[in-house]
Structure 1
Amino acid sequence: MTSELSIGNEIKDGFKETSKWVQNNLKWLSELESFYRERAKLEKDYSSRLTHLAGEYFGKKSAGTVALSVGDAPTTTPGSLEAASLVAWNEILSQTEKMSQDHNQLAQEFEFQVADQLVALGKKCDFLVTTINGFNTALTEKRDKAYLVLEKAKKSYDEKCIQMESARAKQTKSSSDKAQRKAGGKEHEMNIAKNHYLVTINQANRIKDKYYFQDVPEVLDLLQDLHESRTRVMNSIWVSASSLERDMCKRIDARLTTADSVVSQNKPGLDSTMFIKHNLKDWKEPADFQYVPSSVWHDDEQFVVSSSTELQDLKIRLAKAQQVYDQMQGFASSEIGDLTSLNKQRQGMKSQDGLSGEQTLALLSKYVRSLTSYTSHETAKLEALVEIESIQNNVPEEHDLSTDGIDLDKLGKKSGVFNRFKKSLTISSEKKATKEDNTDMASTFSTESKSKNGNHLSFFRGRSRAQTSDSRFSANTGSDANSATERTDDTKNAVLFSYQKTDNDETSVTIGDNFSVLAPDSGSGWTKIKNETTGDTGLVPTSYIAIREAVRSNAPRAPPPRKSGTTRSVEAVYSYEAQEDGELSITEGDNITVLREDDGSGWTFGELNGMRGLFPTSYCK
């Protein structure tokens, strides 16, 4: 893929038109094949005609040799000797016969080394397009599945609300204990259904963000890589055809050089540039899903934990989500080595002196397979993370969310669905282990740079607010956060990292600015503030600031850091120079103390030689 332009970055949600564009160019290969086969026919016909012509004039020369050499009535016949002019003419006719053979050879070379190669290229590209289309279909199905789960959760919640209202109406007519117990049970069911509905809303929103800002752009870039790889191979075939013809006939060398010049100017990115220029469109991100209250019951989007029943259900959900998150994190971590190595090689495709077209197509095939598995596990991890955040951020502080007493193995025996899910994870793990046995990849990684809006990019991209909101999973009020502002007043709010606004409803902040909170984080990962230093108001990422002033008691809590036992250290594999305030410069071989784990943004907060800040996670092991 070209380093200057990316279809995934420039064209939003453009799989349909990009895929059609790539397939149109693949179909064009059949026209190129047809051209060279017609050329081969012409060369064969010319070779046949030239051979016949040379033979005819060999006969004429033989019949006139004596007359031309020595005259019609020589006193002494020349025997086998020929006149010098005839010797020269004989050489011309001999070379003409060889030229006919050269044309016949060129016809065969056009058939086997050009036309057949174009057919092979088309088949390889068609197979890779099918693989990428399958990957895109899988991503779309995951997104649609999340939407369907949300729809079902809403329907279930509405049904429980109606049942609750019916039970309540009966209770008002009968004061019996049975009616009261029944009404209470229906209320618990309704509350549980509501909590589930709220979780699925958050999951659907995050899956939607991941689909449009990470998955779809990645698919589009794969299509772009495929198209540009096809162009590289096609260019090499064209150059080969020119060389074949140049070897046959030096007289047309100038014309072939002109053709080569045109081919060499057909850079892979030129097609992409024109495509982008003619396909730019206004695009708006689909609106987030919002809580829709039941027409007969709750009218707000707060979690309901009115008794131990709801609390126990949330604790079970939390335990399961934590288990799934850990499993998916393990799978993704085991796959990242292969994926990062392939990604580094993929970046090498940008260099003209890098991989050949054939190697590029083979590399893309490996990359798509690895990316498909990794993305599946990352999506499952994201769903689990959203559920953890949803529960931890919305359950009041007075409730204990400890899951120490929950035995998921016993619960799993009662839930066939959960057992099947665990089985699928086991199968996936076994497949991954088999894949690892057959693959030898270097554990290197080419980290993405920062985007133009200043947000840190993950392994693929960081295009949405949802990416920033992941950082809520690491607390923003601990000792690590405070260490970034040691020189500030501990009683005042502080800016931990500088942020440059990208939307009208946001505001920019710089380390050292004073601000006040206008509206606390509602779970979106953004806090509305007034920058007292500049006088501006707007949203900033919650993880970029430390809030020390009193806020409303019902404001969502940042989830506590995951329990990690002891502090760990990592070793720098690559050197990194800090680009802005809040980052940490590291040198290859440094041992860095991890103060806060990577929250999904691709950056880890650590300490080196008394200095603290963010550094790229993938630069260390």
Structure 2
Amino acid sequence: MDDIQSFYRERAAIEKEYATKLVALSSKYFEKKAKLSTSLSVGDTPQVTPGSLENASLVTWTEILTETEQIGKEKQRLAQEFTISIADQIHGLELRFDEVKKKYVNCHEDVVKRREDIYSSHKKAKVDYDASCQKMEDTRMKASKSYDKSKEKANKKMEGKEHDMNKAKNHYLIKINVANRVKDKYYREDLPEILDGLQGVNEARVSLLNSFWKQAISLEKANNQRCITNLDKMTEVVEQNIQTLDSAMFVKHNLKQWKEPTDFVFVPSPIWGDDETMATGDDEELRYLRKRLADSRTKLSNETKNVESKLETYKQLVDAKKNMSSISASNQTALLSKHLMALQSVMAADTMRLVENVEVETIELATSDKDLSSVPVEQTVTKRGLFGRKKTVRTATGTSNGSGDADSALARTSTSSSLGRTVSRRSTTSSTTANSTDKHKHSFMSGILGRRGTHKPGSKSNASNEVAAAAHTDPFGAGGDQTSSHSQGTQYATALYAYSADGEDEISISEGQRLEVIEEDDGSGWINVRHGSEEGLVPASYVQLLPMTATIPKSVSNDSLVSGGVAGGAPGSAKKKGPTVAPKRGGKKVQYMIALYDYDATAPDELTIRAGDKILVVGEDVGDGWTQGELNAMSGTFPTAYAKLA
């Protein structure tokens, strides 16, 4: 850009000397371009030599110089216009773009610093773990050499050191997973986004250069009618300079193989041999994990809200960036700066959210077979001992003061703050295994920035659901014998009266309809039934339960059993009025959930859902993060965090 604005300044000065000087100037810049051609096209260290090829902007520049050689005489007015309208503007644009590039460099340094800080935290956790192992070993050695009363005291001290060692180990394992996720995020999201941003800056620069070239060409057309043919050629080549061509050429000649850094793994202490399984066998360790899980969930909720807030601003800037060509040059650079600042803010906030999310998942997975809410909470009580001296005694109780919210939070093994990312599975696998399995589905930004992984259609899980769907074949379907019995273990009923639904949890029925009974009357006066794809409550007095061995003639409609059939009554009789309906006091409501995200079943007992689906809740979340639901005649479990109550 510096060469281009210098070109127009010098050309303005040379316009008075007409053709001779103008040709000399063009030759000068041909030579300068030749020296920088390779560097500007493919960089200083390309992976593939471009030969004689130049990028689109340099090709355009070459054509402009060639046509400039054909121009002879220029007016003084044109010289002034070149200086004020072209050279000065390009110089100002160059300064603004340099500032934007510096900001990208600072952004990358900030991201790297955050990553290194987390790496350092991981290393420190390792040092602390080794130190606690050493202390444990020293205490054990002393205990082995003690006798009588000192032996008991030494053993108690050794037990305390063992708890400290296990806590340090758990902290170390958590930091390993955090470091791995942050590392993945840096190489798979943060760094690509920064590189994409730099590419966008370059493309914006090319776009603005094109506009200035067009402006210069327009000035020449207005002032040099004799050169109109040459100037039209310049316009044609500039139009061909598509913004993405330079970047595409640079990428093509600089592609190289990249190997992802290896994951962090648990390194046993050379002093205390151990495996990577998180310690959960003692109340002391579980108390530590319980407190940490509650703290992490609170932080995760706050960080998720923070990310959502920042992401709204970022989305607005992304949309504005799509229409960048329609705004002025100064506003474009300002928009690019704002876009970078918003991206930097979102990445930083999302990293913090990721840290808390990984901690929650790691602890939940390690304690999936434990009920943390029942773990006694250690309280400190001050008592008077011998001679009136105060002493502190630690006691274990079921709950601690003010911890009701934490206990409530611990009863839920899934949090809605995960926003469609990886759901903790019901498994006893180690935390390190969970990290390697789900680490690439975790980022909040990946869904926004187009890097979300999706389940493949036609998988084994989908096939399992198809088999499950086939199991719900209507017992009154067409074909087969002339009579059909109820499916084994399924209760059916016949509607004695028509009923119109008076609430979201009810369904309307017509007299004589055949209904499948989901739940019988529990004393509330209401019964939960299904008709077709609809399910809900109806008054128990409006239906008649059919015997489990009853058969229905095939001549009877699937949707209704007319009078004179199973329900009884004379043919053609008038519509009967049902009895008064009692209020639904204690009646069991049908509960639905609305899917927030897509989820593909990964096991035969799971349910595939899509965003917007209305799912019937068959069994509520019992604390394992999964809800039993039914959708489209198929039932199974799905992640509770993927849906909300209707």
Query: What TM-score, normalized to structure 2?
Result: 0.53
Whether 2:459 is the aligned partner of 1:487: answer: no
1:192 corresponding residue in structure 2:
167
Q: Deviations over 1:267-304 (max 9, x none)?
A: 11111111111111011111111110011213210011
| C-alpha contact 2:129 2:169 (8 A) present in aligned 1 | yes
- For residue 366 of structure 1, report the CA deviation from its aligned partner: 2.2
Number of residue pairs aligned between Structure 1 and Structure 2: 388
Q: What amino acid maps onto 1:487 in structure 2?
A: A
2:298 corresponding residue in structure 1:
323
| C-alpha contact 1:319 1:408 (8 A) present in aligned 2 | no
- For residue 123 of structure 1, report the CA deviation from its aligned partner: 1.7
Q: CA RMSD in A?
A: 4.4
Whether 2:366 is the aligned partner of 1:377: answer: no
Q: How does 1:20-419 map to 2 (within 5 A)?
A: 29-44=1-16, 103-175=75-147, 176=150, 177-348=152-323, 359-395=331-367, 397-401=369-373, 405=399
For 2:229 and 2:162, the matched residues in 1 are separated by: 87
Q: What amino acid maps onto 1:285 in structure 2?
A: E
1:447 corresponding residue in structure 2:
none
For 1:606 and 1:128, the matched residues in 2 are separated by: 52
Alpha carbons of structure 1 residues 483 and 316: separation in structure 2 relative to 1, 3 Å: farther
Q: Deviations over 1:232-253 (max 9, x none)?
A: 0010001101111111111111
- For residue 209 of structure 1, report the CA deviation from its aligned partner: 0.7
Alpha carbons of structure 1 residues 594 and 390: separation in structure 2 relative to 1, 3 Å: farther
Q: Report the secondary structure of 1:287's partner residue.
A: coil
Alpha carbons of structure 1 residues 256 and 226: separation in structure 2 relative to 1, 3 Å: same
Show structure 2 runs of 5+ residues with no match.
22-71, 376-397, 405-439, 456-460, 473-590, 601-606, 618-627
- For residue 462 of structure 1, report the CA deviation from its aligned partner: 2.7
Alpha carbons of structure 1 residues 594 and 256: separation in structure 2 relative to 1, 3 Å: farther
| C-alpha contact 2:133 2:165 (8 A) present in aligned 1 | yes
Q: What amino acid maps onto 1:123 in structure 2?
A: L
For 1:408 and 1:291, the matched residues in 2 are separated by: 36
For 1:486 and 1:284, the matched residues in 2 are separated by: 42
Q: Report the secondary structure of 1:279's partner residue.
A: coil
Alpha carbons of structure 1 residues 285 and 468: separation in structure 2 relative to 1, 3 Å: farther
- For residue 41 of structure 1, report the CA deviation from its aligned partner: 1.1
- For residue 606 of structure 1, report the CA deviation from its aligned partner: 11
Q: Report the secondary structure of 1:106's partner residue.
A: helix
Q: Report the secondary structure of 2:469's partner residue.
A: coil
Alpha carbons of structure 1 residues 592 and 196: separation in structure 2 relative to 1, 3 Å: same
| C-alpha contact 1:153 1:200 (8 A) present in aligned 2 | yes
For 1:594 and 1:234, the matched residues in 2 are separated by: 59
| C-alpha contact 1:160 1:190 (8 A) present in aligned 2 | yes
For 1:136 and 1:333, the matched residues in 2 are separated by: 22
| C-alpha contact 1:570 1:594 (8 A) present in aligned 2 | no
Alpha carbons of structure 1 residues 255 and 401: separation in structure 2 relative to 1, 3 Å: farther
For 2:454 and 2:174, the matched residues in 1 are separated by: 19
Query: What TM-score, normalized to structure 1?
Result: 0.55
| C-alpha contact 2:5 2:88 (8 A) present in aligned 1 | yes
For 1:34 and 1:593, the matched residues in 2 are separated by: 67
Q: What amino acid maps onto 1:303 in structure 2?
A: M
- For residue 567 of structure 1, report the CA deviation from its aligned partner: 6.3
2:449 to 444, 460, 485: 460
For 2:358 and 2:322, the matched residues in 1 are separated by: 32
Q: What amino acid maps onto 1:314 in structure 2?
A: L
Alpha carbons of structure 1 residues 378 and 484: separation in structure 2 relative to 1, 3 Å: farther
For 2:163 and 2:119, the matched residues in 1 are separated by: 25
1:76 corresponding residue in structure 2:
none
Judging by fraction of residues, say which structure has more helix. 1
- For residue 385 of structure 1, report the CA deviation from its aligned partner: 0.6
Q: What amino acid maps onto 2:180 in structure 1?
A: N
Q: What amino acid maps onto 2:261 in structure 1?
A: P
Alpha carbons of structure 1 residues 347 and 408: separation in structure 2 relative to 1, 3 Å: farther
Percentage of identical aligned residues: 36
Alpha carbons of structure 1 residues 293 and 568: separation in structure 2 relative to 1, 3 Å: same
Q: How does 1:497-536 map to 2 (within 5 A)?
A: none
1:68 corresponding residue in structure 2:
none
For 1:583 and 1:233, the matched residues in 2 are separated by: 49
Q: Report the secondary structure of 2:257's partner residue.
A: coil
- For residue 132 of structure 1, report the CA deviation from its aligned partner: 1.7
For 1:489 and 1:194, the matched residues in 2 are separated by: 49
| C-alpha contact 1:201 1:289 (8 A) present in aligned 2 | yes
For 2:281 and 2:596, the matched residues in 1 are separated by: 48
For 1:186 and 1:303, the matched residues in 2 are separated by: 17
- For residue 178 of structure 1, report the CA deviation from its aligned partner: 2.0
In terms of mean alpha carbon deviation, does 130-139 or 374-383 score higher? 130-139
| C-alpha contact 2:129 2:172 (8 A) present in aligned 1 | yes
1:533 corresponding residue in structure 2:
none
For 2:463 and 2:181, the matched residues in 1 are separated by: 26
Q: Deviations over 1:310-348 (max 9, x none)?
A: 111111111111011000111112222222222233345
1:55 corresponding residue in structure 2:
none
Q: Deviations over 1:344-392 (max 9, x none)?
A: 333455xxx7556555433322221222222211111110010011111
| C-alpha contact 1:571 1:592 (8 A) present in aligned 2 | no
| C-alpha contact 1:320 1:408 (8 A) present in aligned 2 | no
For 1:400 and 1:224, the matched residues in 2 are separated by: 49
For 1:230 and 1:39, the matched residues in 2 are separated by: 22
| C-alpha contact 2:189 2:446 (8 A) present in aligned 1 | no
For 2:350 and 2:362, the matched residues in 1 are separated by: 18
For 2:276 and 2:326, the matched residues in 1 are separated by: 54
For 2:467 and 2:330, the matched residues in 1 are separated by: 53
1:517 corresponding residue in structure 2:
none
Q: What amino acid maps onto 2:346 in structure 1?
A: Y
- For residue 102 of structure 1, report the CA deviation from its aligned partner: 7.3
- For residue 583 of structure 1, report the CA deviation from its aligned partner: 8.2
For 1:114 and 1:219, the matched residues in 2 are separated by: 30
Q: Report the secondary structure of 1:294's partner residue.
A: coil
Alpha carbons of structure 1 residues 607 and 234: separation in structure 2 relative to 1, 3 Å: farther
For 1:117 and 1:170, the matched residues in 2 are separated by: 80
Q: What amino acid maps onto 2:98 in structure 1?
A: D
For 2:466 and 2:365, the matched residues in 1 are separated by: 24
Judging by fraction of residues, say which structure has more strand. 2
- For residue 44 of structure 1, report the CA deviation from its aligned partner: 4.7
For 1:326 and 1:101, the matched residues in 2 are separated by: 71
- For residue 408 of structure 1, report the CA deviation from its aligned partner: 8.7
Q: Report the secondary structure of 1:150's partner residue.
A: helix
Q: Deviations over 1:526-567 (max 9, x none)?
A: xxxxxxxxxxxxxxxxxxxxxxxxxxxxxxxxxxxxxxxx96
Alpha carbons of structure 1 residues 610 and 134: separation in structure 2 relative to 1, 3 Å: farther
